[in-house]
Amino acid sequence: MIPAPPTITAKKPAKDSLRELVETIVFVVVLVLILKLFVVEAFVIPTGSMAETLLGYHKRVECEQCGYEFPVNSSEEVEGRRGGGKFPVVGYHCPNCNFPGKLKLIEHEENRGKYYTTELASRDGDRVLVHKAMSIDHRGSVVVFKFPSDPQLDHVAQNYIKRLVAFGGETIAIYHGKLFVHKSLAYPDEIAPENRSDLWDRPNTYNSKPNAIAAFEASKLLNFPDNAGGFELIRKPDDQVLAMRRIVYHNDFQAKDLLKTPPRWKTSGEGWGAPAAGQKVYTHSGEGRGFLKYEHLLVPNKIAKDDFSAKSERLRDFAKPAEPNLIRNFMGYNAGVRGSFTDPNAGVENADNNDNWVGDLHVECQAKIAGPDTAVILDLGKAQHRYQAHFAGGAVKLIRTGPGGKELASRPTPMTKAGEYALRFANVDCRLRVWVDDVAIDFGNEADYAFEAPTVFENDDGNQEGWTKINDKNEPAAIEVRGDVTVSSIVLWRDSHYTNADAAKPPRLETMFVQPGHFLCFGDNSAQSHDGRGWGLVPERLMLGRAVFTFWPYKRIGFIR
């Protein structure tokens, strides 16, 4: 028998752990550099020009009266104001209940003497990922670019983030807070420069020209029909509508000091129980018609905007009655109170172009229904008309009342049995929109209606904005029910409002031509945004990419709409 040959085990080469570690680090670094250079880069939002879609440096404030939490701009506290000086945020103005609150101060003492900071620290801006390889071809995209005037300042890149509103060759119009676009308007009386590759610094060359004004007026006479070759209203998609909505009133957050004053949501009609102070849940029974009607009631504050010092009273002026007001483009983010690090009694509310009427609203609620035959009607007023979403029988009908009123569309809904449903109804950009349990119902273009420029103005409408007392002051929103229904978690929102560059009043027409090879970009915080309305256009060569995702802070993680 021949013995088996001995087993020979091949000796493995010794691992060079250090070499492997170095190779791994080099690979990761190279991969990150490639991704950063060509695909994705992270940016930090420094300012509030895109608030509240994206936040810059801010303080997260909770109103001491209603408990509503909201962000307040603190860029001037962290980075300082252009031209010098840092100003701490020492107070706020609640967008939900209108209370002028004060932040607690902490006293410090050093060799230089006493100084003060607020107990509430500033938070960094949102951290976002920018996709550099994604094409810039979608109106409404949030984009990052180098500031044309100073792409670098003190060897630091000046990267701006805004929303893309127009492409080269288009003319944009701002009118009554809305954007309109003409895609082929020519300017024969203007001599186009031979080099049209970098014309950002000539923003006013083609702006508000007679032929643009004439084209707009011609389109206005026809109520801006789509695809007619003239100016058309830009209608935001649903996801952008939700991103750009701003709080008007959340009924679950009612101010403690206002519980003895008339409520903003008031019951009327049949079937309701006795009203209670601070009521948040409303139960209706029977087939009678029950109504919940909203008035934007505000109790005047004792404090003046130009005297927000520590000596001023942070109180409502209950000697004056609560009165219905128009819903305006007020935003708590812009209404922080700037103070002094050395004087605890200093404080002046920030100036804000926040007194434009906004008629485009959203109303949402939780509705617990006894069955499909129960009816819930969400109702929004605007100028001469009211707009309604009728939920009943497993369907929703969209109805416009007033001059030329009619049923616009009807679609089935999931509300085919007893249960609780989240309902949302919005009237934005002359399009009615409905969501049930956060799922949008597709109406195609059947839910669109023509933009009608106001021509008749009420006596108190000195700015000729076009509102009416009956629909926009006395009852901008309402909910009607029939049958056994419980309504709760009622929230009213408004749409963002585009202001003119110089905040002129009455709201006037302003047009801007976008040179070929350029983009026009605006901030979502139109009342306080340093954007294309002031300094012009963005050359294509300075466009860095699309902001697609917020990855920090964790509560704001998600795709950017």
Question: Domain-by-domain residue ranges, the chain?
Answer: 20-247+323-358+505-561, 262-298+360-449+466-494
Residues of the chain with pLDDT under 50: 1-2, 5-14, 203
Buried b (16+ CB within 10 A) or exposed e, 15-53: eeeeeeeeeeeeeeeeeeeeeeeeebbebebbbbbbbbb
Q: Tell which residue, 122, 521, 64, has the closest CA to residue 255.
A: 64
- Break the chain down into helix, strand, coil percent, rounded to 5: 10, 35, 50
The CATH fold assigned to 262-298+360-449+466-494 is Jelly Rolls (2.60.120)
Q: Answer whether 499's CB lies under 8 Å from 463's CB.
A: no
By CB atoms closer than 10 A (0-12, 13-18, 19+), residue 191 is exposed
Q: What are the tokens at 270? A: 């049949």
24 membership: H or E segment, kind and range: helix 17-34
What per-residue confidence (pLDDT) applies to 324? 95
pTM over 0.75: yes
pLDDT of residue 213: 94
Taking CA atoms, 364 is separated from 345, 421, 438, in Å, by 41, 11, 10
